[in-house]
Structure 1
Amino acid sequence: MKHFFTLLSLITITCLSAQTKFEKGYYISTNGTKSEGYIKNSDWKNTPNLIEFKSNLNENSVEINTSLIKEFEIENKLKYKRFNVDIEKSSVTSGQLSNNSKTPNFNKENLLLKVLIEGKASLYQFNESGIEKFFYSTDKKDIEQLIFLSYIADAEDVNSLKVQGIDYIIENSTILYNRTYRKQLNENVNCGNSRDEISKLGYSKTNLVNFFKKYNECENSEFKKFESGNKSTFRLKASLISNLNSLNLKFNNNDYYETNFGTSIDFGFGFEAEIILPFNNNKWSVILEPSYNIYKNSDHLTYTFYTTTLEQDVNVEYNYIQIPIGIRHYFYINEKASIFINAAYNAKLSVKSNGIKYEVVTDNNLEIFPSLNNVAFGLGFNYKKYSIETRVFSNTQILKGSSENKFADYKNISLNLRYQFL
């Protein structure tokens, strides 16, 4: 395990510099000076705190704090622009409500906003620590936030909605929404859109980008749509798994029942579903890899009591489905090859009649937990449609009814070979 993580650290450090390209662009400082050159495209999900810049590709890069930048652009891919705006940052996620007011609580801030659409009507995005907000401006209206917030219904809301014939609202429980952004768009970014059409418009990047794109087209206005080209991608791979297993059985410090089964190689098979996330240059993904695995082993036990020697065989059989779900990070070497690391939570479900069985004293047969869980870490290499990964699982105590003197410590390292067919 120690050598595995040492190797992982060395590979990570080696690959970091090869992951992201410098691309043609410019930045304008807060004093108005424009510098053209090359910017490292990290395809930021959140607003960046700094950028790496080169005047030409042959020189070393310099880091520039974005607080000193008024605007920067990577040609035809992304653009950020600084504005002094009123912003409310409440979460709209259920269970994470940071605001229970029907009206927005604004604060004046100087922000670097991501430009999504630039034209007669422009659209901007703010993204920070899971809080996503959108802003807009037109040729006739200064920039302002598109208002969308959530809050928990109070007594006034319950009574007001009952008058309108809505009687399923529960005080201090039901989540309601302020969708003022629809009114804003209806009044200021409307090119023949019906009220019904705008009333169905969702507050998301995809929906709003499409809406502003159609508006500029309808107005015959030149506009620019910034996009890195990265999209969510789904991959499906067949998996062939080789497991290096070991099991250490303790049984009341009695040599006649306990043993270390040693290591064995067993096999499994399954498939991996992967969703490549559409940010940070597609370096992050979510993975799910259900597989069927088999572990079988046996040992011959002997125990001498005075002049009598007792012997018996003990057999272990553990058939299980495991379902690791986790995250993956890629370090791209080139367009065809990459190295990746994983971290996953793993659920294990026992199938068939599993257990530890003794040949002679069957009363001491042992059961295995029907469901277990542990964590896993992996290091792998991907080339075109093929990948190989070494995955280390945390130890699992698999014995049902275990105690301080009776337990079975199961260890597993797997080698996963995969072929992408979708």
Structure 2
Amino acid sequence: MKNITFVVSIILLVICSKANAQIEFEKGFYIDQFADTIVCYVKNFGWSSTPDNFTVKSLDNQTVYSIDADEIKSIQIGDRIKFVNRIVQEDISDNNQQRIAIKRKVEFNQNQRILKVLIESKFSLYMIEEGEYKDYFYSEDNGVIKQLVNKKFAVTGNGFAKSNEYLKQLLRINTCETEKLNSFVKNMRLSENNLISYFLQINQCSSSKIKRYEELRPEGKTVANFSFKAGVNTAKSRYIFASPNSAKEIEVPRNTSYTLGLEVEIPLKVNQYKWSVIFEPTYKQLASSTTVVDQGLDREYEYQIYSIDIPLGIRYKMYLKENLNLFLNFKVQHTFHVGNSYVDLDFGQDHSAQTRFNFSYGAGIKWKKFSLEYRRDSQDILFQRVYEQFMNYNNAMVIGYNFR
């Protein structure tokens, strides 16, 4: 456990030291308050909340400086990311920490805000992110930017109700006038994907030119990536018997086996999608034996374990170039034994294998759809008697193929 803690600490230190280095400057520009366009490089932090300042680098002398969001009219990174500084009509009745409004009635006020542009067209769509909360805004023909109202409000007692004013707002700008789209709106949950789909349709119906700003995930536009994993695993085992009357420790020789798994990776919108949540059910087969002299007798110690590991973890990627990246994994996993799994290490007595949660960590490289990864974990197998302990130390080389 001490070794695992040490290695995990090293991995976390490496991740922290590399995180900022992996945030890159990208070609872009901003328009200042005097309507001058300044072409520059903008540091793309992959913002999870609407930023209040930006880090830019000049094209000529490579000077890096920071500009406040309220000092610019707009800023853009390539054709994918754009923020604008605009006066908006915003509902101010939603004004407490729990995002539960005091009043049902909408109280609009004009505020200067920084908005992320999602769609620019006859009907434009904007967003403000504040932690876990997202507020959406829209405008028509570059007119007044209004908030799409979706709020909880307090009612008598300790309860609350919902006001879905945004449904009426969206229906009022429906230029398609189709029953299918009306039905879609009436049952729509307010979300980024639903709104983008709706605004694309109504702008297409009005034959308007559409500009969609879309921050692409490095692996493409999919919500999740799926990979088939196959590997070779080597295991070294140690059995410790430490009763009040006797003690012994047995080293079981290394053995080689195979692993099969299916990985699900969900990229997170943090630091340009460099962080991911990973889930990889993995089948593993382990078996080994050894003979030792115990009290003058040759005794056979052996184990046979068929298991399915259920790990949940995080991944951090470091992009070297297009389609090539290094990654670090850290997982917490639990093992379920299947089939005829047993440990026979105590005078011919079989023990059914039971494990508890353990840690797994590793590092690898991915090129296009293929990956190669080294991973290490340990399995602490429990016995009914507390003075017995059996540990498996696993090292594996795993190849993967991403099919989405």
Residue in structure 1 matched with residue 76 of structure 2 by the alignment: 73
1:300 corresponds to 2:301: no
Aligned partners of 1:89 and 1:131 also within 8 Å: no
Structure 2 counterparts to residues 304-315 of structure 1, below 5 A: 304=295, 309-315=296-302
Residue in structure 2 matched with residue 344 of structure 1 by the alignment: 331
1:388 corresponds to 2:389: no
Q: 1:65-120, CA deviations, whole angstroms, 9 ceiling, x for partnerless residues? A: 44544421123222111245435798xxxxx9753878378797643211111233
Structure 2 counterparts to residues 193-232 of structure 1, below 5 A: 193-194=178-179, 195-230=182-217, 231-232=221-222
1:291 corresponds to 2:258: no
Secondary structure in 1 matching 2:129? strand
Q: Distance in 2 between matches of 1:104 and 1:414?
A: 61
Aligned partner of 1:268: which letter?
Y
Alpha-carbon RMSD across the aligned residues, in angstroms, is 3.7
Residue in structure 2 matched with residue 241 of structure 1 by the alignment: 232
Distance change >3 Å, CA 141–CA 51, structure 1 → 2 = closer
Identity fraction in percent: 24
Residue in structure 2 matched with residue 123 of structure 1 by the alignment: 125
Q: Distance in 2 between matches of 1:244 and 1:104?
A: 66
Residue in structure 1 matched with residue 361 of structure 2 by the alignment: 377
Q: 1:18-77, CA deviations, whole angstroms, 9 ceiling, x for partnerless residues? A: 563512x22234576542222233443432354331221772433434454442112322
Q: Distance in 2 between matches of 1:399 and 1:316?
A: 13
Q: Count residues with an aligned counterpart.
A: 390
Residue in structure 2 matched with residue 252 of structure 1 by the alignment: 243
Per-residue deviation at 1:350? 0.6
TM-score relative to the length of structure 1: 0.77
Q: Distance in 2 between matches of 1:241 and 1:185?
A: 55
Q: Distance in 1 between matches of 2:142 and 2:22?
A: 45
Q: Distance in 2 between matches of 1:218 and 1:268?
A: 56
Unpaired stretches in structure 2, ≥5 consecutive residues? none
| Higher strand content, 1 or 2 | 2
Secondary structure in 2 matching 1:401? coil
Secondary structure in 2 matching 1:238? strand
Aligned partners of 2:280 and 2:311 also within 8 Å: yes
1:409 corresponds to 2:391: yes
Distance change >3 Å, CA 324–CA 225, structure 1 → 2 = same
Aligned partners of 1:349 and 1:372 also within 8 Å: no
Aligned partners of 2:379 and 2:393 also within 8 Å: yes
Secondary structure in 1 matching 2:329? strand
Distance change >3 Å, CA 207–CA 408, structure 1 → 2 = same
Per-residue deviation at 1:281? 4.0
Q: Distance in 1 between matches of 2:314 and 2:281?
A: 15
Per-residue deviation at 1:144? 2.2
1:53 to 53, 56, 74: 56
Per-residue deviation at 1:203? 1.6
Q: Distance in 2 between matches of 1:281 and 1:184?
A: 33
Distance change >3 Å, CA 315–CA 293, structure 1 → 2 = same
Aligned partners of 1:379 and 1:391 also within 8 Å: yes
Structure 2 counterparts to residues 31-46 of structure 1, below 5 A: 34-46=37-49
Unpaired stretches in structure 1, ≥5 consecutive residues? 91-95, 156-170
Aligned partners of 1:27 and 1:36 also within 8 Å: yes
Aligned partners of 1:116 and 1:209 also within 8 Å: yes
Q: Distance in 2 between matches of 1:335 and 1:326?
A: 25
Distance change >3 Å, CA 58–CA 379, structure 1 → 2 = farther
Secondary structure in 1 matching 2:400? strand
Aligned partners of 2:229 and 2:263 also within 8 Å: no
Residue in structure 1 matched with residue 381 of structure 2 by the alignment: 398
Distance change >3 Å, CA 88–CA 319, structure 1 → 2 = farther
Q: 1:285-328, CA deviations, whole angstroms, 9 ceiling, x for partnerless residues? A: 33222222122233434444xxxx34422222222111223232
Aligned partners of 2:268 and 2:277 also within 8 Å: no
Aligned partner of 1:20: which letter?
E
Aligned partners of 1:269 and 1:292 also within 8 Å: yes
Distance change >3 Å, CA 138–CA 22, structure 1 → 2 = same
Aligned partner of 1:217: which letter?
Q
Per-residue deviation at 1:180? 1.4
Q: Distance in 1 between matches of 2:337 and 2:138?
A: 54
TM-score relative to the length of structure 2: 0.80
